[in-house]
Every structure is written in C-alpha cells, then in structure tokens.
Amino acid sequence: MLLFNRWQSKTAFLMAMGMTATAFVPLLISTPAIANSPSFEIAQLFPDSRDDEYRGSSGGVVPRGTIIPVTYDRGKKIIVSPEETADITLTVAEDVESESGRIAIPAGSRIEGELRPTDRGTQFVAQNLILEDRDRGYPIEATSREITDTEIIDEKSNPDILRGAVIGAAAGAVLGEIFGGIDLGEVLAGAGVGVLGEVLLRGRKQKEVEVVVIRPDTDLDLRLEEDFVASRSGNDDYRDSDYRRNRDSDYRRREDN
C-alpha cells in the first residue's frame, strides 16, 4: 500500500510538471513576435530622413516671384533678330526649394521655352519643366527679364563677334548674306528659316542687320509668374487647382482660430 501511494505521488508530480512545461512553450514561442513588434513600428514611424527630405509627400509649392537660376549649355551667346521667335532649352543651375524648405526643382532639371520678340528686344518665356529625376514634363509660367542689348552687324563687322554664339535661324540667314560662306556655327530651330532674313535685307543699300545679343549667364535667370506645383511621389493627379483649394481652406482655418 505504501509503495502504491509513492508511485501515485510520483505520477501526479510528473503530470503536473508536464502540464506546466506545455503551458510555458507557447509563451516562449510568442516572445520573439512580441519583441519584434516595436522595431517594426519604429521602422514605419521613422523612414529614411534623406529620402523624405528629397521627395516629400509632394514636391511642394514654389511661390510666385521665386527666381530660378539657369544655364545654357550650347553656347556663350545667343543671337537672334528682333522679330525672331526661337526655341531653346535651359538647365536649372541650383536646387530650388518649396515654401516648406524641400527641394521642389532639383538642379539639372530642364526648362523648355521660346525667345519671343518684345517691343524693345526679346524675352524668354518658359513653357515646360522636366524635373531632373522624372521623364514627364510640368507646365510652368516663368519669364526672363526683357533683353534689349542689340548690335548692328554689317560687312565691316568683325566675324569674331559670332564666335561661341548660337544663332537664330532668321538672324543666321541675314548674317550668311553679309559674311558670305562663313561658318556661322550652330543655328537655332525657329519659324521662317531664311524667309525673315530675305525680308530684312530686301531694299537695303548696304547689307547690315540689327541683332539681339543674349548672354545666358546674366540675362536668362527666370522669375515665376505663378505658383509652381509638382507631385514628386507618383501622385500625378495633384493639380494646381487642388493646391489653391487646400491653401484657401488653410487660410480660413487660421482666421477662425
């Protein structure tokens, strides 16, 4: 009887230990998952700050009046006739920040537009901005100052004035007549190739032409005429009208407070 009681006590003890161990195993297995949860949340709460600084939730808003420094890679000078329209592409020289301090227009972005005649000379009018890290273009309203630096070129002029210059098609037609077979270098694409040159020379006793001389390093920095908004997070449906609606809503909230 005594032996039976001892065996029964041992059996009960072993069973109790087994039940305790079985209950403890799931706790051990679940521990790594609990330990890993905080690190996952931290990764979500603190994304790479450099990536966020560059992209942001959007490119942000660059306000009207912002100056965009640009360069022109194809020549040191551009020469056009006063009546000429010519297509050119400029390159953004420095990062341009939004109102929030994020980079909205990175250096290296391209701005496409036209040199257009004005009452006293010519002016660059921007039409399209292609961001440095994107293939698509965004409409942009920006202009250079009016450029009024003109020169009279005739048969006695030194052809060196054209050295390093990119020449508009109309101006090139006239200059070709003045200087004969001289190599005028690169000629810009534009409307009325050769035709405007013939008109300018028609009826003249002396072959000469007035041209507008543009020096891109000093003449072509652009001023935004309207706020510029561009999505940088793939939300290409974000439009300027959305920005204005959100901005007006923010203004009303501030007034209410």
Please give the pLDDT value at position 206. Answer: 47
Looking at the whole model, is its pTM more than 0.85? no
Return the pLDDT at 17. 53
- The CATH number of the domain holding residue 84 is 2.40.128.260
C-alpha–C-alpha distance, residues 61 and 97, integer Å: 8
In a domain, 30, yes or no: no
Q: Is residue 48 part of a domain?
A: no
With H, G, I as helix, E, B as strand and everything else as coil, classify residue 123. strand
Query: Can you name the residues that pair with 97 across neighbouring β-strands?
Result: 103
Q: Kindly state the DSSP code that residue 190 receives in the 8-state scheme.
A: B
Q: Is residue 44 domain-resident?
A: no
Q: What is the count of structural domains for the chain? A: 1
Q: Residue 225 domain-assigned? A: yes
Give the C-alpha separation, 1 to 12, whole Å: 17
Q: How many CA atoms does the CB half-sphere of 64 hold within 13 Å?
A: 6
Residues 193, 47: Cα–Cα separation, whole Å: 55
| Tokens describing residue 111 | 């701005």
CA nearest 94: which of 84, 85, 104? 104
Q: Is residue 150 part of a domain?
A: yes
Distance CA 71, CA 81 (A): 21
Query: Is 47 contained in some domain?
Result: no
pLDDT at 152: 87
| pLDDT by 10s per residue, the chain, length 257 | 544 455 455 555 555 555 555 544 444 444 444 444 444 333 344 444 444 444 433 468 999 999 999 999 988 889 998 999 999 999 999 999 999 899 999 999 999 999 999 999 999 999 999 998 777 789 999 999 999 999 888 777 776 677 778 888 888 777 777 766 555 555 554 433 343 444 444 444 446 788 999 999 999 999 999 999 876 544 443 344 444 445 455 445 545 55
In a domain, residue 54? The reply is no
Domain residue limits at 181: 61-235
Indicate whether 214 belongs to any domain: yes
What CA–CA distances, in Å, run from 142 to 13, 116, 139? 87, 13, 10
Among residues 129, 152, 183, the alpha carbon closest in space to that of 81 is found at 152
220: left (phi over 0), alpha (psi -120 to 50) or beta: alpha
Q: How far apart are CA 123 and CA 142, in angstroms?
A: 11
Question: In whole angstroms, what is the distance from residue 68 CA to residue 18 CA?
Answer: 76
